[in-house]
Structure 1
Amino acid sequence: MEMINCIQAVLIRKKMSQKELARLMGKSLNSISSMCTNKSQPHLKDLKKMAEALDVDVRELLFPSKKN
C-alpha cells in the first residue's frame, strides 16, 4: 500500500485523537481511521477541512511527491 498521507503523524503531533477529528469534521470514526492508515484518501475538500481542524497547512497532511 502506497503511503500518500501522513494524517496520523499530524494527529500525534497535535495530540488529537481520531475520534476528536471525526467529531470536528462530521465524519465517522471508521472513515477517519481508514484515512489515517492510508486505506482510503480524503477528498480535497475534506483535506482542507482537516487541515483547518488541526491548524496546519494542508501540505503537512501529505507526503511529498518529489524528494529534493
Structure 2
Amino acid sequence: IDVRGRPFHKAVNWSDEVVRPRARFVTSQKPAALILEGLQLEDEGVYRCRVDFKKSPTRNFQVNLTVI
C-alpha cells in the first residue's frame, strides 16, 4: 500500500495483475496481513513487502509461499 502524499485511509494498494482480484492487504489488525483468497498453485512463490518510514530506514521482508 502507498500512503505517500495522502491520508492513511486513502492509501493505494498495489498488487500484481495475477493476484489483484483475490488479494487484499488488511491494516486494521496487528500485525497487518496480506490475504489471498481462492489460492491457486500458480500463487506459489516469493512475496515481497517494503515498508518506508519518514524517520527510519526502509525495511524489506520476503515470504516464501508453498502451495500443497
Give the shorter-chain TM-score range: under 0.3
Q: Which has the higher helix share?
A: 1
Report 1 or 2 for greater relative contact order, CA contacts < 8 Å, sequence distance ≥ 6: 1
For normalisation by structure 1, the TM-score amounts to 0.28
Higher share of residues assigned strand:
2
Larger Rg: 2
